[in-house]
């Protein structure tokens, strides 16, 4: 009597191992399914997920597209392809893939969120916000979508709405560090300096090595005329990220406010010579 597990059972076992972080065992199950049935769309998709998680984005795209040849309407496969294309810097193609995902499933919250990120990156803020609104309506527990919605609102100067979105993200995940930092930046822009200082303090508490937060704290402290503390915070940002151009510039502004103009000039020159800020934006 043949007691070999079915393809469905092997996929189920693979997913269990996958969720537990046992990737080699998961891959054993997925590849066994493909050995028996090279056109199994589920196995191809889950192997594509593993490839993308390991940074093999082109391989992941190829596998996901093979999966689509055997089962055409898969929102998840189009969504995965979009994420991989984004990682490869192909933003417009990624957007098209997220659109394809939503043609397959009009209620796919992840695809709305990812689509919104692409639209925001392309400077299409009104469309991005519409997509974010749909994403959070379908999945109100997504701290990432609330955060990215806030970042888009902040980018077009709608600061109070941005703060509200960051508040929603933090309520869902109190340790969602980017929202604490971005919220503090928006509060600073609104002139709510004490709240901004508290927000940056929380971000630094959660991520002591976050150069952006130390620079933001320096800017708030300068606004509060606490210049010695501001300079110390700017220096800390540069200890963490020596090529952080904005931190050199921020340090120069503090030094100018202190009347230390020669040192300020040196910091501005360093700002012009450095590469820019470390990455901060959450991935899609």
Annotated domain spans of the chain: 1-90, 107-172
Long-range CB pairs of 33-42 (<8 Å, 24+ gap) are: 33/7, 36/7, 37/7, 39/69, 39/70, 40/7, 40/70, 41/67, 41/68, 41/70, 41/71, 41/74, 41/77, 42/7, 42/11, 42/67
- The CATH code of domain 107-172 reads 1.25.40.10
The DSSP call for residue 157 is T
- The pLDDT tens digits of the residues spanning 199-255 come to 999 999 999 999 999 999 999 999 999 999 999 999 999 999 999 999 999 999 999
Tens digits of residue pLDDT in 95-141: 999 999 999 999 999 999 999 999 999 999 999 999 999 999 999 99
Residues 6-44: tens digit of each pLDDT: 999 999 999 999 999 999 999 999 999 999 999 999 999
The C-alpha atoms of residue 28 and residue 24 are separated, in whole angstroms, by: 6
pTM: 0.88
Same fold, 1-90 and 107-172: yes
Distance CA 199, CA 193 (A): 10
Mean pLDDT estimate for the chain:
94
CB-based burial, 242-264: b 16+ in 10 Å, e otherwise: eebbbbbbbbbbbbbeeebeebb
Query: Taking 80 as the threshold, does the pLDDT of residue 2 lie above it?
Result: no
* pLDDT on residue 256: 96
CA distance 97 to 13: 29
- The CATH code of domain 1-90 reads 1.25.40.10
């Amino acid at each position: 009597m043949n007691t070999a597990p079915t393809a469905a059972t092997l996929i189920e076992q693979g997913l269990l191992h996958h969720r537990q972080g046992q990737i080699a065992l998961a891959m054993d199950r997925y590849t066994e399914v493909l050995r028996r049935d090279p056109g199994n769309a589920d196995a191809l998709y889950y192997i594509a997920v593993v490839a993308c998680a390991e940074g093999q984005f082109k391989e992941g795209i190829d596998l996901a597209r093979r999966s689509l040849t055997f089962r055409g309407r898969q929102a998840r496969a189009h969504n995965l392809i979009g994420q991989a294309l984004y990682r490869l810097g192909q933003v417009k193609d990624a957007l098209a893939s997220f659109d394809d995902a939503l043609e397959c499933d009009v209620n796919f919250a992840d695809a709305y969120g990812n689509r919104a990120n692409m639209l925001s990156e392309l400077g299409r803020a009104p469309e991005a916000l519409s997509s974010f609104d749909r994403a959070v309506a379908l999945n109100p527990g997504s701290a990432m979508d609330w955060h990215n919605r806030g970042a888009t609102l902040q980018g077009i100067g709608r600061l109070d709405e941005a703060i509200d979105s960051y508040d929603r993200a933090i309520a869902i995940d109190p340790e969602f560090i980017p929202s604490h930092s971005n919220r503090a930046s928006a509060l600073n822009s609104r002139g709510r300096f004490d709240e901004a200082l508290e927000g940056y303090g929380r971000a630094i508490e959660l991520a002591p090595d976050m150069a952006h937060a130390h620079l933001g704290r320096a800017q708030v402290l300068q606004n509060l005329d606490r210049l010695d503390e501001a300079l110390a915070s700017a220096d800390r940002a540069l200890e963490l990220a020596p090529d952080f151009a904005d931190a050199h510039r921020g340090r120069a502004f503090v030094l100018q406010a202190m009347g230390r103009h020669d040192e300020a000039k040196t910091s501005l020159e360093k700002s012009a010579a450095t590469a820019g800020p470390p990455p901060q934006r959450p991935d899609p």
